[in-house]
Amino acid sequence: MRGYDGGKKIKGRKRHIVVDSQGNLLGVQVTGADVSDARGASAVLEAVLGRYRWVCVW
């Protein structure tokens, strides 16, 4: 998976990561750099909220 983010001048991949308050990994999604941060974050949050119903996002 590769792409180019013109706004941030990034080639390659982006990693969207969700952790809890203690730093435990809850979810990760790797996308091409051309995927916006908002789209990547919403996708990984939806996956985490589907798996862990007790998660509260502030």
- Closest to 52 measured CA to CA, from 27, 30, 23: 27
What residue segments make up the domains of the chain, in order of their start?
3-51
Q: What is the pLDDT of residue 10?
A: 65
Local mean pLDDT, 10-residue blocks, the chain (58 residues):
64 88 93 89 92 83
Q: What is the pLDDT of residue 41?
A: 92
